[in-house]
Structure 1
Amino acid sequence: MTKESGAKGASRAWKRRTVATTVLGIGCLAPVTLGRIDIVQRTHAPRQIARLDIPLPPEQTFVFDPGDHKHANFKKAERPQPLDATGAIEAAAPPAHAPEAKAPRSMELDPPLVSAYARAVDPAYPTGVVDPAAGLGVDLTGLREGLDAYRHGDLAKGDAAAATAKDPLVATTLEWTALRLKPLEAGPRRITRFIATHPGWPATDWLRKHAELALYAAHAPAKTVIETFAASEPVTPTGRVALAKALLDEGETARANELARHVWREDRLNTSQEGILRKNFGAALTSADSARRASRLAYDEQFSAALRAASLAGPDIVALVQIRAAAERGVSTDKTFADAPPAVKNDAGLIFARIKHLLRQKKYAEAGALMLTAPRDPAAVVDGDAWWEERRNLARKLLDAGDALTAYKICAGHAAEANDKQIEAEFHAGWIALRYLDKPDLAAPHFDKALQIARTPISRARAAYWRGRAAEAAKGDAVAYYEKAAADSATFYGQLARLRLGRSDTPIRFAPLPAEGAKRDESVRVIELLYAAGAKDVAVPLVYLSAKSIEAPEQIAALASVVVKDSDAKVSLTFGKLASQNGHPIDDVAFPTYGVPQFSPYENSASLPVVYSIARQESAFDPKAVSHAGAMGLMQMIASTARSTARRVGVAFEARRMTADPVFNAQLGAAHLGDLLKEQRNSLILTFAAYNAGGRRVKEWIAAHGDPRDASVDPIDWIERIPIAETRNYVQRVLENLTMYRARLGMAEAKAIEPLRKEARM
């Protein structure tokens, strides 16, 4: 979760494409927003990060990111960043004397909705149990024995069970499990063999990465390493280090030196790997190589490692890194920059640090003037994504100060590298040009560029919607753009586009039923076996990888049927999201209606669709979720807010019940949401912003940007002006959730979108 105003680098060269995510299973980053900002403790609720369950090279812990990375295939687990906020989440003041507990009423909706729990008990609905004998025709005894052995770390015993398997599918299932749970012990040859004999396996990329880790950990002979990479280049820094050393050992010095220099300049390395390169390639590494490495590490805020690299580049680079560290830590002064060595006065890294320094001093005009002189050449910039983040921070400050033209120029002059950063930069430039410079013709090319490179439904719908707004403002034809946005009907901007087109329906795209007798991919059948054998922990990572890679709709349908039968709302929604991003929208799976237990709400509580919308975004329906900041359970309430809410409704508060009793958690969350709705005069935008960032902060934003309830304030622009990226995204996601859940829980399609229509005043 990133804070845009003065946040310490929440996304850097080796920390790409992260927004409020949770690491699931094997570490596959699922696009699920968890937790809220805990204003009381003044920290962002952090990502819930699960470390890889395999030993890694010394002093190196990675999280596997399936997204595209320019400089590395792994990224460092991010630490939570502090907010610059004061104040606490506002809650109802406790009464002087605890009132009698109010009798909870039945959850009622206006008009009433079909209960999610009526669906859950319907025989045609998921039962929560996968029948091991459901047409699989497999003896599960040997499979379970092998799975149990692998789970307990006994590779030999598991392999023995696999060797006796008569069914090839059982053997494949056990082999995948061995490689999934014990990749280093299994070794690189075994992983490589599995890849070769299972083309198209959805976890191939994951297996390749772990084959390289295993190759490195096994200290494989040089010839073996070279043979391994004969057909394809390494995909991890670890693999590249291993190959460079192997090439050197085999006398291919020129090729080894070239690869080593690339790794040194571009890759994240642990100290052991650094040592290997310095020991074996020290003479080949130039001062320029080390200066670039130092700069890249400084953008990543890894200043100890940056200083190690700088020491090989000379005293001027050491001084430069020290200045950048001072600016990042907020201890720089004007003299700090005045004393910079002449040789680095024009270095892009020094300019970057000075802009940070000026931002902290709130000298936005001076920072803007300096930013307009900053280099844009990738070789000089080193990390275009880090630069974009500073450009965004500064542009928003200038926009707040009324200098929209400079804000536009700063956004338009970006040198972002990653797709998501480019999309964000082009959106900002187009949005500012359209809404604050009133220049739709200037805005249109930026939205076109964003639309051209957008791949996910959220980004695609946003770019198409705003391109339509630009066309409309220019008195042109906007319909085609709104139609394109409206196709992504489960997204905030897709729903706004439907309203723009005069539509009031909320289509639910259902997963197709798998055709009877249709042949299923091997990986789908393996997943079925794992579920049937009670090995859900092994199955789920493969489910997610399959959702991201399977192209055939009939295979997605078959896999969706397996997922839905298990009735795990968290797995269902994650699978549904990933499948949607892969071109298979399945709203009934992505918006499960069995994630919140049946409960009787207290008086004036929020409606069931609102509760579902919040729970989906806060915890992904994980009743035991606990953030680092202490937000707990389905609704991710912090203890102080939950306690004051319990006091208001007249029930005893027990912290343990927040994760042990999802009914209790849902009741308090619904009651707190009801309080916020009353406080915000039924504004959903303000209520959801307050639930995420706190009521005091919302008051600050109203003071700065106006009240979205007022006719003079555009509510969509107001959302986009929210200065915290996580909250900006959160409000949009919960609003889109609400439309979908009103439809999913039985609301007539024509009425499901009404709250969004009202909020957007359309």
Structure 2
Amino acid sequence: MSSMVRKSLLFLALSGASALALTSPVHAEDNTMKVTYQPSAAGRAVSQWEYLVASDKLGFSDYADFLLKNPGFPKEGLLRTRAENTLENEAPSSRELVQYFDRNPPQTNSGRARYALALAAVQRPEAFEIARKAWRDGSMSSSAEAYLMGLYGARFTADDHIARMDALLWHGDKEAAARQIVNVPAANRALFMARLALVQKTAPESAGVMVPAEAMSDPGYVFNKVQYHRSTGNLPAAVTTLATRPKFATPAHDAEDFVAEMLAVAKGAGSSQAVAIASSVDDLFAPGTDISDGSYRLRDKYTDLMWLGGTKALWTLGDGAKAAPLFYRYGMAAKTPLTRSKGLFWAGRAASNAGDRNEATRYWELAAKYADQYYGQLAIASLGRPMPQFSDQVSAVPSSELRSSFNSDPLVAALRAISSSRRSWKTERAFFEAISENADTPEEMALVADLAAELKLEEFAVVAGATAPEHGLFGFERLAHPTVNVPYGTDWTMAHAIMRQESEFDQNRVSHAGARGMMQLMPGTAREQAGKMGMNYMSADLTDDPQYNIRLGDGYFRRLLDYYGGAYPLAIGAYNAGPGRVNQWLRLNGDPRTGAIDYVTWIEKIPANFETRYYIMRVLGNAVAYDNMHPHRAPGGRPRTISDFLR
């Protein structure tokens, strides 16, 4: 699971010493032993994890000791970054740093530089290669810079100095760049001088710096130039620079930052220019780069840019041919089933609008793989095909060895301790998600599902089933759609569709806004609805009695559905945001009940700062999935399609 099977919890057992005491790299394994987690030990580890996650002002040893003892715990990257950030004000011994970084490779370049210096201090042969990478990757403290230059300056090559100068200018580190310029070969100096002027908020021409003719094919120069224009209030110049630039000669040093800059500029551009900017993103990356494997920030900015370009092309310019590849990029950059199927569906719709039915079919067939998702269902409808049957959960029988490895995983022990002590559901969820993320095979996912059932964490069956497609695992749709008993007369399908989205069937869930229970009712709404139904209002029963909560939630939803004349998208939106907001959007974007706009487009045009857009999509997708998984529960025994809910 890779990681689930690959390691048991290790801690350093050096008599009378901290976990950071030095071990020789050759004999490190001699000084480690497996920890068998008893519930009390696991509970203590979880308590310490909660404390460290909530605290960003602790010392290096606080984070480092925990990370050495508890590899693979949730938010490990956050804790590692915090550990490295403490090194700006702390000076652990070289032996302590080597001990830590040997097991936790640096997350930051400053950390990498400190690791290199520590390796040099203990005379480890790999010190130079780590130092060389730190040098090439740019920013570090001025003292680390001086030490590395003193130790290895004679061994750094011209290419190393060029790479460092490039990185420093990407990071906007003008002081270090000004020091580094003397190390750059004369043949490369003109371009770097022009970039340095831009970073210093000066037009190169005004500073008497010549800009080489080939500068616009350099991604670093264009990045610095666009940032300069934006910082000096000249957005039109930034737009023109990005919309008309030639193809880059090499990939960008920091494609993530460049995509973020492109998005910021495209938001202020005209429609044609925004499409041009979004369409020129490919040469920022090396051929074959899979954006979906990138950081969350890269995926987020990239998909926002592709969506902006695609919608401008399709909705404003009416150019489906230009929109389709942008929507396709959006989908393929996404990790989650909803977002991936969204891009693929809209790529198909754009291609269809452009008259390319073959290309539309190709995109829709890709989206249709996600039949339990709103957009997958729209793709199936667009193809004119019936909903597929959802088979029972895939047959996956874990071996005894795999089951033993799973049960000895510290994350599993920690989750059991969390469950038995009724800790915060957020902590519980963090550990369950970490376990689910490690499941890369059907057998491993089956073990995750078994764990949720064992601990009576029905709500996390939703998490496990939803995670499976992100790992290329299909056939877990039923796992992701659990069922519960509901009061007689309840709209079974809609109650399940709403509960899956609102609370994941957690009867004790209380939102930050105060919504409570399985149907996530606000106390005021619940009190009003109880009165309308002739029921006593019992605030405690909103979480203590799921049947009470479901009856009130079902009654409230039916009231909204009546108010909107049976229009499910509008009633679902009002359940989330209130009728006032929905009525406002009807006035703003048109009323799909009159034919002024279709429901699919109306939902997309709900302002992005409201969660309601995705809420409607998810609840509708849930409703279709539940109807088709349990046809005997559907009205008249006829499972509905997404088209039935969009009338």
Shorter chain as denominator, the TM-score bin is 0.5 to 0.7
Match of 1:692 in 2: 576
What secondary structure, in the 3-state scheme, does the structure 1 residue paired with 2:593 have? Answer: coil
Equivalent of residue 588 in structure 1, options 478, 487, 492: 478
Match of 2:343 in 1: 463
Equivalent of residue 732 in structure 1, options 614, 617, 629: 617
2-structure distance, mates of 1:653, 1:317: 65
Equivalent of residue 227 in structure 2, options 348, 353, 371: 348
1-structure distance, mates of 2:543, 2:74: 35
2-structure distance, mates of 1:577, 1:494: 14
**1:486, 1:498 within 8 Å by CA — same for their partners in 2?**
yes
Deviates more, 1:385-394 or 1:709-718: 385-394
Higher relative contact order (CA 8 A, sep 6+): 1
Q: How many aligned positions are there?
A: 512
Match of 2:449 in 1: 560
The offset of 1:438, in angstroms, is 2.9
Match of 2:527 in 1: 643
2-structure distance, mates of 1:587, 1:383: 36
Deviates more, 1:617-626 or 1:712-721: 617-626
The offset of 1:651, in angstroms, is 3.2
CA 1:511–1:219: 2 relative to 1, 3 Å: farther
What secondary structure, in the 3-state scheme, does the structure 2 residue paired with 1:234 have? Answer: coil
2-structure distance, mates of 1:707, 1:486: 28
**2:63, 2:80 within 8 Å by CA — same for their partners in 1?**
yes
CA 1:737–1:385: 2 relative to 1, 3 Å: farther
The offset of 1:551, in angstroms, is 1.9
The offset of 1:701, in angstroms, is 1.9
Match of 2:588 in 1: 704
Equivalent of residue 432 in structure 1, options 312, 335, 347: 312
The offset of 1:496, in angstroms, is 1.0
Could you state the TM-score of these two structures normalised by the residue count of structure 1?
0.55
CA 1:495–1:532: 2 relative to 1, 3 Å: same
**2:433, 2:464 within 8 Å by CA — same for their partners in 1?**
yes
The offset of 1:619, in angstroms, is 2.4
Deviates more, 1:538-547 or 1:439-448: 538-547
Map 1:415-564 to 2 at 5 A: 418-473=298-353, 474-477=355-358, 478-515=360-397, 518-526=400-408, 535=420, 542-564=431-453
The offset of 1:706, in angstroms, is 1.4
Match of 2:179 in 1: none
Match of 1:328 in 2: none
The offset of 1:734, in angstroms, is 1.1
The offset of 1:558, in angstroms, is 3.0
Deviations 1:708-758 (A, max 9, x none): 223342221121111125222111111111111223444479977625213
Deviations 1:295-327 (A, max 9, x none): xxxxxxxxxxxxxxxxxx9xx989xxxxxxxxx
CA 1:752–1:453: 2 relative to 1, 3 Å: farther
2-structure distance, mates of 1:658, 1:238: 51
The offset of 1:494, in angstroms, is 0.7
Deviates more, 1:695-704 or 1:502-511: 502-511
**2:37, 2:413 within 8 Å by CA — same for their partners in 1?**
no
**1:429, 1:443 within 8 Å by CA — same for their partners in 2?**
yes
The offset of 1:562, in angstroms, is 3.0
Match of 1:108 in 2: none
The offset of 1:681, in angstroms, is 1.3
CA 1:373–1:211: 2 relative to 1, 3 Å: closer
2-structure distance, mates of 1:507, 1:699: 37
Could you state the TM-score of these two structures normalised by the residue count of structure 2?
0.64
**2:341, 2:367 within 8 Å by CA — same for their partners in 1?**
yes
Match of 2:11 in 1: none
Deviates more, 1:377-386 or 1:427-436: 377-386
2-structure distance, mates of 1:263, 1:426: 30
Structure that is richer in helix per residue = 2
One-letter code of the match for 1:499? A
The offset of 1:652, in angstroms, is 3.8
**2:113, 2:130 within 8 Å by CA — same for their partners in 1?**
no
2-structure distance, mates of 1:394, 1:584: 40
2-structure distance, mates of 1:571, 1:239: 36
**2:94, 2:118 within 8 Å by CA — same for their partners in 1?**
yes
**2:466, 2:480 within 8 Å by CA — same for their partners in 1?**
yes
1-structure distance, mates of 2:539, 2:143: 54
Map 1:538-687 to 2 at 5 A: 542-585=431-474, 586-594=476-484, 598-599=486-487, 607-687=491-571
Unpaired stretches in structure 1, ≥5 consecutive residues: 1-65, 67-154, 157-167, 196-202, 266-276, 295-312, 319-344, 356-366, 399-403
2-structure distance, mates of 1:236, 1:731: 40
The offset of 1:695, in angstroms, is 1.9
One-letter code of the match for 1:292? G
Unpaired stretches in structure 2, ≥5 consecutive residues: 4-17, 20-33, 53-60, 150-163, 175-195, 202-223, 285-290, 292-296
1-structure distance, mates of 2:511, 2:400: 43
Map 1:317-332 to 2 at 5 A: none
CA 1:495–1:664: 2 relative to 1, 3 Å: same
What secondary structure, in the 3-state scheme, does the structure 2 residue paired with 1:653 have? Answer: coil
1-structure distance, mates of 2:66, 2:580: 57
